[in-house]
Amino acid sequence: MSLSNAHHISKEEWESHNKMLLEPLAVNDSEVFSIIKKEKHRQTYGLELIASENFASRAVLEALGSCMNNKYSEGYPGQRYYGGTEHIDELERLCQKRALEAYSLDSEKWGVNVQPYSGSPANFAVYTAVVEPHGRIMGLDLPDGGHLTHGFMTEKKKISATSIFFESMPYKVHPETGYIDYDRLQENARLFHPKLIIAGTSCYSRNLDYARLKQIANENGAYLMGDMAHISGLVAAGVVPSPFEHCDIVTTTTHKTLRGCRAGLIFYRKGVAVALKQAMTPEFKAYQLQVLANCRALSSALIDHGYKIVTGGSDNHLILLDLRSKGTDGGRAEKVLEACAIACNKNTCPGDKSALRPSGLRFGSPALTSRGLVENDFRKVAEFIHRGIELTVEVQKSLDPKATLKAFVQALSQGEKFQQRVAEIRVEVEAFAGQFPMPGLPEL
């Protein structure tokens, strides 16, 4: 066998090449396989409480790893740049149909684009479609529970691409209640005249008043866009208010409460497919109801341990723990909990002066609910969290009040008594987590 440039390929080399294409990952690339196995172990024997994460089902992961990966599909069904897309078209149309059905939407009134890779490009696509360059948008401020893509900026710097390409005025929560201040939003909108108002959050534990937001949008001739990335599964199950009645456009991710693979959707009023099928089942609604019940149980248990929850509770899948009264912050507590095999994330609380040292921890119930945990289990999880935060405070008290996060991590990792406490908690956490089944593929 030879090539035109005079390079010769032996029969053995070609057979080796063909063999390589058929080898399983464990044989073909043991290094990558080993890393994936370690991550599988972390997910199986840790407690996943990051509110934006979940565990995809085996069926979703099988679809994600199929031969569909091999095909270019630039364009839309029936209007592709490449040939050979008849089955890609079939799948995309099915995904669109299921997306509309999952949210009980009339196909005569609503359309959906299922092509975004994630929520951020979905949001940016909406902004560029309906707001001219340097046009005005209003979204919930990041420290108050909004998302980076909703126009966040500081006094000195425009942080997100949204705030660079569009003029942004954030709306805020009331400093005393932690609830969105709709009256102030209405006053500011009358002065700012936005082209788009964003009804969406990334760390706000209460339901949005979509009717009030639509009223404010109408007063200013603005579009209302709902970003339901965090609550899309809850909306599909009908256990929280839907944005579709009042919003002109709705975006979402598919991998949070919807429990699919990583992607985005854009729903729009007119003039991911496996997860969407699962979202239409009675079992999925039961799951979402349990997500809410588990979040309430976690919130209640942490309050019983003496913690402050922003807004005092939750209407959805997440809570925000304010650690200022404990004398510590989210960054330090996150490091300790991670060492104890508890995954969560630091998050700003209303009134925080800097996003670099946020006061809070965000916890979500969807992922562990996917593993079968119920209310009593989440009360046990709250106990683990409490012990981790107690340890955080102890480590912090052993240091100078001005000690950096780096110094804190060093003290945690080098202090013998601290490491003993971490090891004790971690052993209990891993034994507890290991009792529950892990969704997905058996090995990876």
**Two tokens, residue 145:** 């529970």
State residue 34's pLDDT score: 98
Query: Regarding beta strands 308-309 and 318-322, do their DSSP bridges make them parallel or antiparallel, or are they unpaired?
Result: antiparallel
The catalytically annotated residue of 255, 295, 344, 349 is 255
**Which residue's entry shows tokens 């239409």?**
280
Evaluate whether 214 touches 245 at the Cβ level (below 8 Å).
no
Grouped pLDDT means (10 residues each) for the chain, 444 residues: 64 91 94 97 98 96 94 94 94 97 95 96 93 93 92 83 91 96 98 97 97 97 96 97 97 96 94 80 96 98 98 97 96 98 96 88 98 98 98 96 94 95 98 96 88
**In a 10 Å sphere around its CB, with 0-12 CB exposed, 13-18 middle and 19+ buried, how is residue 261 labelled?**
middle
Instruction: Give residue 136's Cα distance to chain centre.
Output: 26
What per-residue confidence (pLDDT) applies to 328? 96
Q: What is the DSSP string of 86-111?
A: HHHHHHHHHHHHHHHHHTT--TTTEE
Tell me what pLDDT residue 375 has: 98
CB count, 10 Å around CB of 130?
Answer: 17
Q: Where do the domains of the chain lie?
A: 71-278, 282-433
203 part of the active site: yes
Q: Is the pTM of this model over 0.85?
A: yes
DSSP label of 111: E
**pLDDT at position 139, please?**
96
Q: What is the pLDDT at residue 132? A: 84
Q: What is the pLDDT of residue 354?
A: 81
pLDDT of residue 255: 95
* Cα–Cα distance, 253 to 265 (Å, whole number): 6
CATH architecture of structural domain 282-433: Alpha-Beta Complex (3.90)
Annotated catalytic residue 386:
no
Contacts of residue 309, defined as CB under 8 A and 6 or more positions apart, other chains included, come to: 205, 299, 302, 303, 319, 320, 321, 322
List the CATH code of the domain at 71-278: 3.40.640.10
Q: Please identify which of the residues 95, 203, 340, 349 carries the catalytic annotation.
A: 203
